[in-house]
Structure 1
Amino acid sequence: MQPRPFPALLLVLLVAIAIVNAFAEYYHWYWLMRWFDIPMHFAGGAWVAGVTLWWRFFSGRFTTAPLNKKAIFVWAMIGAIGIGLAWEAYEAIISCLTVGRMNDVLDTIGDLIFDILGGLVSAVTLWVYTYKKQ
């Protein structure tokens, strides 16, 4: 498969996430709206899974990368869960250092669920796009 350039949609999503996050930090939306991190985790999971899928299947770095439904979903989950867990570990460390305790475990589980859901949306999008063309 010929290498494809980095998808513009993923670049637009990254810029949108960065802009919304900048406003959220400036206006304290994460603290004023307790639910605000939910769409951010969803969007972040979708972006990370999208980048993982592009890197694995379309970047040209791998010569044998079978593009089938199972591989798409596995790689999307590897990206979304892997980075989601790393982010939650980072949050736990920062919380312990700044407030002296870790965030609620249910909050962490909820964050990971929305990372996974975002990753699933990326996987389904690629799968539909790939098999619609055939």
Structure 2
Amino acid sequence: MTNPDPDPSKPDLLLLSMQGFQMYEQGRYDEARDIFAKLTLQDPAEGYYRTALGATCLAVDALDEALIHFDEALRLDAADTAALINRGEVHLRLGNIMQAAKDFARVVALDPEQKDPLTERARLLAVATLQSAEEAQLESVGGGSKG
């Protein structure tokens, strides 16, 4: 294995990123993960690479690792809606319902005109998440029986 290029050009990074995205789209998650991991080392200030790396981890159920990458992507860009919605999905799968709802609500708040296609997905997930939380609360209060 060679060391990462100490001064990669932006076109080279873009080309590698596109290759990683293609691997992801083809379900070749391990290869995509390797590419995005390399990109995060070559350009640690680019949040997209962290978001993409988190998405590859999410795709293979490496939820704790995905959470780390989405958190880092959001540290780099707090308005990264892809990182927010994906982190919300990780929280949902980990049972962290309120954290998931907050992430989904943040996506919706960042796009009041609903121009980003992720906003509708976030809105639907937020509603479903809150319904699940309400149902869980009712079940715990009612002893698990439904009326």
Give me the TM-score of the superposition, normalised by structure 2. Answer: 0.32
Which of the pair has more CA radius of gyration? 2
- Give the number of the structure with larger relative contact order, counting CA–CA contacts within 8 Å between residues 6 or more apart: 1
